Amino acid sequence: MSRLFGTDGVRGLANETLTVELALKLAQAAAVVLGHQTVPEGKRPVAVVARDPRISGEFINSAVRAGLASSGVDVLDAGVLPTPAAAFLVDDQDADFGVMISASHNPAPDNGIKFLARGGEKLTDEQEDAIQRQMELEPLRPLGAEVGRIDRFADAEDRYVVHLLKSLPHRLDGLKVVLDCAHGAAAGCSPQAFTDAGAEVVVIGADPDGLNINDGVGSTHLEPLQAAVLEHGADFGIAHDGDADRCLAVDANGTVVDGDQIMGIMALALKDAGRLRDDTLVVTVMSNLGLKLAMQREGVQLVETKVGDRYVLAGMKYGDYSLGGEQSGHVIFSDFATTGDGVLTGLQIGARMAATGKSLAELAAVMERLPQVLINVKGVDKSRAATDPELHAAVEAAEQRLGETGRVLLRPSGTEPVVRVMVEAADESVARREAEDLAAVVQRELALA
């Protein structure tokens, strides 16, 4: 049986691969694995359910709620909220688990179902596998008063916004910010949080109609935000993705500030406040070498994990670290969140600007982002990438030529017959030349028979 869960829940084209029937069975199975098997006998499990505003979320939400309630789980329906809000509310309400219906930065026709364990934490592989096995069994069918109830979680958004404001070390008074909400789940709570924090707020991408999520706006399309920041003379801009678990920023000049730069800024902010535990930042192997060099200079140690925010979370939990994230803008503040939180991250950026009196460009200058070239080599035997002697020798030779200010990373794709070749160097032409040469070696040595 093939594995149903991907790197972040179960995703697919809504009504084709992600159907009502699948959503119902997933919910019924999760009711057992995350609910009845974990609560004391006689206690009814409780689940928080939320979604982003894409149109298919309406019928998938209905199927999920029906599956949970029919299996004896009480449901708190939080409506349209970001993924990190759902995670916070699971913990805040002492719920047994949560369900987030979203396909994040994907286009509107896609959707996904993501489960959150007690405390708002992402599931382990073992928990996901247990849910998939449970789907093969008959669902629970309680009768009468034993079926679950479905209640509207009326103050869910307010609770989340209050939580965000409590995290701030400094108000944002005097700052002007443009927020691009990607016509997604942050369209309501992000403008509210920034306004309550004292900022002057200009909002774009905050008119979701169910079909326009991530469509030419948000963290995957930064041009509208850059233009709006310049047009309104804003101090900075924040771009969310569809479920607002990440953000990217734009400075007053319209220059993009990526996740690595944001992590550099926040690592120093937490270090100055004595809240960067063990003076350590957790990143993935894809983080720019410029971040590593900057953190070495500032006395911050880096711990590297595999690509994926779940691996960053695991690394943070293992070492009890307070900050981690990805270049894509997933930034995790473990003192306040169990997952990446784009609204929280944006607020923390603003708080650092207000506290220091520095522009975002000045803060981002903590690191020099080295040129990074990525080439996806398709149609190859990725299983031999780590063992092929000719390829290993080519990588070693490239690393010697690049020295301490360059880096090579070969990474087989987790889902496709693709090997990703990434090269960083102080000079972009050098990075591109080395990447293209290595890509040619990968194509030659790992060619499919």
Q: What is the pLDDT of residues 344-357, one digit of tens each?
A: 999 999 999 999 99
Q: How many CB atoms lie within 10 A of CB 144?
A: 5
Give, rounded to a whole angstrom, the gap between the first and last alpha carbons of the chain: 27
Pick the residue with more confidence: 328 or 69?
69
In the prediction, which pLDDT does 257 show? Answer: 97
Q: Which helix (H) or strand (E) holds 281?
A: strand 280-284
Instruction: Name the residue among 420, 409, 408, 438 with its Cα closest to residue 382.
Output: 420
Instruction: Name the residue among 229, 153, 249, 238 with its Cα closest to residue 194.
Output: 238
In the prediction, which pLDDT does 21 show? Answer: 98
Report yes or no: 269 and 348 within 8 Å, Cβ to Cβ. Answer: yes
In the prediction, which pLDDT does 414 show? Answer: 66
List Cβ neighbours of 360 (8 Å cut-off, separation of 6 or more). 235, 236, 249, 251, 252, 257, 349, 353
Q: Which backbone phi and psi does 295 adopt, to 5 degrees? A: -70, -35
The DSSP secondary structure of 23-66, one letter per residue, reads HHHHHHHHIIIIIITTSPTTPPPEEEEEE-S-THHHHHHHHHHH
pLDDT above 90 (res 6)? no
Q: How many CB atoms lie within 10 A of CB 29?
A: 23
* Amino acid sitting at position 15: N
Domains contained in the chain, CATH given? 10-154 (3.40.120.10), 159-364 (3.40.120.10), 372-445 (3.30.310.50)
Whole-number average pLDDT of the chain: 95
Q: How far apart are CA 289 and CA 426, in angstroms?
A: 10
The binding site for Mg(2+) comprises 104, 241, 243, 245
Query: What counts of helices (H) and strands (E) characterise the chain?
Result: 14, 19
In the prediction, which pLDDT does 310 show? Answer: 84
Q: What is the pLDDT of residues 201-260, one digit of tens each?
A: 999 999 999 999 999 999 999 999 999 999 999 999 999 999 999 999 999 999 999 999
Q: Which backbone phi and psi does 247 adopt, to 5 degrees? A: -155, 150
Q: How far apart are CA 157 and CA 159, in angstroms?
A: 5
Q: What is the pLDDT of residues 398-424, one digit of tens each?
A: 999 998 888 898 888 766 778 999 999
CA angle, residues 192, 198, 199, in degrees to nearest 5: 80
Q: Is 429 a catalytic residue?
A: no
pLDDT above 80 (res 447)? yes
In the prediction, which pLDDT does 385 show? Answer: 86
What pTM was estimated for this model as a whole?
A: 0.91
Q: Where does the pLDDT of residue 290 fall: very low under 50, low under 70, confident under 90, or very high at 90 and above? A: very high
pLDDT above 80 (res 1)? no
In the prediction, which pLDDT does 415 show? Answer: 62
The binding site comprises 104, 241, 243, 245
* Coil vs helix vs strand at 407: strand
Q: What is the pLDDT of residues 126-163, one digit of tens each?
A: 999 999 999 999 999 999 999 999 999 999 999 999 99
Marked catalytic residue, from 56, 70, 102, 104:
104
Q: How far apart are CA 133 and CA 149, in angstroms?
A: 26
C-alpha to C-alpha distances, 275 to 269, 278, 295, 323, nearest whole angstrom = 9, 9, 16, 9
